[in-house]
């Protein structure tokens, strides 16, 4: 079945994955390969994810399906390899089928979640080298995200400097649940390095908090995790804004990936009101929070958080006033995949549809810059 879409599409969230653990491990230095073979932490994390159907403990967000990385059941390639690990099948199922002109890879393989930070940094470098060699090299429609061991600012900055020379890497990747709120100083070297290279920092749904995954304890169901993740995004954006990170690094751009969009306008109202009453307490924040957000923050459509009445969707966009900062993403191959031809309600005008599906991503990631072509 072929699907016609009116406009070319840029997909800002594609999760590629290694065929098996060896496919990635061979990019790691020998020392870490051996540590891994002796039963490293990656093993346990991967196994835990495989066994999450029905069994949830105090670890935080768990995927709702037993397939690797919460994938659509039809995302298994004919080869039998795991979803999103087979480039020819991804071409067929995603890039060709939906006319994806350009797609940004966002592999989530645990680089930022290692207790051994140097192991995390080695894993991040391996993921980046693997993306360059096995995904960017054979497929010119793809761009990549620089993985970093984001719980250490300096190790992350080093990796950003190493990879930013390759223009096919168009952003730095973090996850939204972290050990501390993202505005705190430990993360500043990441923002500084990214801003220096003109790279946005993409922050994706997921990660592991070091305490309960809400501010009021552990919920019983995955449905609470996936709904509550929007609150993690709101908390992190609050921290970034209140700590004055965007004043400190004026070139910093942040992309909130797969966090939804509907919570943003109410958060801006609440922040603006609190700032008008309490600005003396957060001296590094010198402007109205909503102004800072509208200048420095981008969001992706997946999930679209569509209001129950379709006409409310345009109202939502009018409240946000961030039309040129909304990017399209499929979240392929995850279970809650959004198809480009169905992600936006019919009420979205053609020009805005084109901007969300393509133009905004071109402007942010400079996809049309000649320097971007390899």
Check binding of 160 to a second copy (CB under 8 A). Answer: no
Q: Name, in order, each residue with C-beta under 8 angstroms of 93's C-beta and a sequence gap of 6 or more.
A: 74, 75, 332, 333
Residue of 26, 212, 295, 369 that binds a second copy (CB under 8 A): 212
Q: Which is nearer to a second copy, 189 or 228 (CB)?
A: 228
Peptide bond just before 303 cis, omega within 30 deg: yes
Read off the tokens for 246.
């965007």
Q: Are 9 and 358 in contact (CB under 8 A)?
A: yes
CB 201 to a second copy: min, Å: 15
318: number of Cβ within 10 Å: 10
Binding segment for a second copy among 7-15, 113-121, 235-243, 356-364 (CB under 8 A)?
Answer: 235-243
Binding segment for a second copy among 30-38, 161-169, 237-245, 364-372 (CB under 8 A)?
Answer: 237-245
Residue of 274, 339, 363, 367 that binds a second copy (CB under 8 A): 274
Residue of 238, 302, 330, 360 that binds a second copy (CB under 8 A): 238
CB 121 to a second copy: min, Å: 21
Q: Shortest CA distance to 236 belongs to which of 178, 155, 173?
A: 178
92: number of Cβ within 10 Å: 13
Q: Shortest CA distance to 170 belongs to which of 111, 105, 110?
A: 105
Give the torsion sign (CA, 261, 265, 268, 273): negative
Check binding of 122 to a second copy (CB under 8 A). Answer: no
Check binding of 301 to a second copy (CB under 8 A). Answer: no
Binding-site size for a second copy (CB under 8 A) equals: 68
Q: Shortest CA distance to 253 belongs to which of 213, 292, 301, 305?
A: 292
Q: Are 252 and 246 in contact (CB under 8 A)?
A: yes
Check binding of 49 to a second copy (CB under 8 A). Answer: no
DSSP 97-123: TTTEEEEEE---SSGGG-SSHHHHHHH
Check binding of 216 to a second copy (CB under 8 A). Answer: yes
Residue of 7, 23, 139, 181 that binds a second copy (CB under 8 A): 181
Check binding of 337 to a second copy (CB under 8 A). Answer: no
Binding segment for a second copy among 40-48, 208-216, 346-354, 362-370 (CB under 8 A)?
Answer: 208-216
Check binding of 209 to a second copy (CB under 8 A). Answer: yes
Output DSSP code: residue 214: S
Task: By CB under 8 A, name the binding residues for a second copy.
Answer: 64, 176-184, 209-224, 226-228, 230-232, 234-236, 238-239, 242-243, 260, 262-263, 265-275, 277-278, 281-282, 290, 303, 305-308, 312, 315, 319, 335-336
């Amino acid at each position: 079945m072929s699907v016609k879409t009116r406009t070319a599409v840029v997909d800002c969230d594609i999760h590629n994955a290694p065929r098996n653990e060896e496919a990635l491990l061979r990019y790691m230095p020998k020392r870490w390969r051996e540590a891994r073979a002796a039963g490293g932490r990656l093993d346990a994390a991967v196994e835990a994810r495989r066994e999450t159907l029905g069994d949830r403990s105090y670890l935080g967000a768990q995927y709702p399906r037993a397939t690797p990385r919460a994938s659509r059941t039809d995302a298994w390639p004919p080869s039998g390899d795991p979803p999103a690990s087979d480039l020819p099948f991804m071409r067929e199922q995603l890039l060709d089928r939906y006319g994806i002109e350009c797609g940004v890879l966002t592999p989530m393989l645990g680089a930022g979640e290692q207790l051994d930070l140097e192991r995390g940094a080695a894993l991040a470098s391996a993921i980046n080298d693997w993306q360059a060699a096995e995904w960017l090299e054979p497929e010119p429609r793809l761009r990549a995200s620089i993985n970093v061991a984001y719980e250490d600012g300096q190790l992350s900055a080093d990796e950003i400097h190493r990879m930013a020379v390759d223009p096919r890497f168009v952003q730095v990747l973090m996850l939204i649940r972290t050990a501390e709120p993202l505005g705190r100083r430990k993360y500043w070297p990441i923002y500084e390095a990214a801003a220096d290279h003109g790279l946005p920092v993409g922050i994706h749904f997921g990660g592991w908090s070091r305490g309960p995954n809400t501010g009021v304890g552990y919920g019983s169901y995955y449905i609470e995790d996936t709904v509550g993740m929007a609150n993690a995004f709101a908390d992190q954006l609050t921290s970034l804004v209140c700590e004055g990170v965007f004043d400190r690094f004026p070139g910093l751009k942040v992309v909130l990936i797969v966090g939804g969009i509907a919570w943003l306008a109410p958060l801006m109202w609440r922040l603006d009101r609190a700032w008008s009453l309490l600005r003396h307490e957060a001296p590094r924040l010198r402007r109205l929070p909503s102004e800072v957000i509208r200048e420095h923050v981008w969001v992706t459509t997946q999930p679209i958080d569509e209001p129950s009445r379709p006409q409310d969707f345009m109202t939502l966009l009018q409240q946000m006033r961030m039309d040129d900062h909304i990017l399209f993403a499929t979240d392929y191959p995850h279970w809650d995949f959004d198809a480009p031809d169905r992600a936006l309600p019919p009420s979205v005008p053609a020009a805005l549809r084109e901007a969300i599906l393509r133009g905004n991503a071109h402007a942010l990631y400079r996809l049309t810059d000649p320097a971007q072509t390899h």
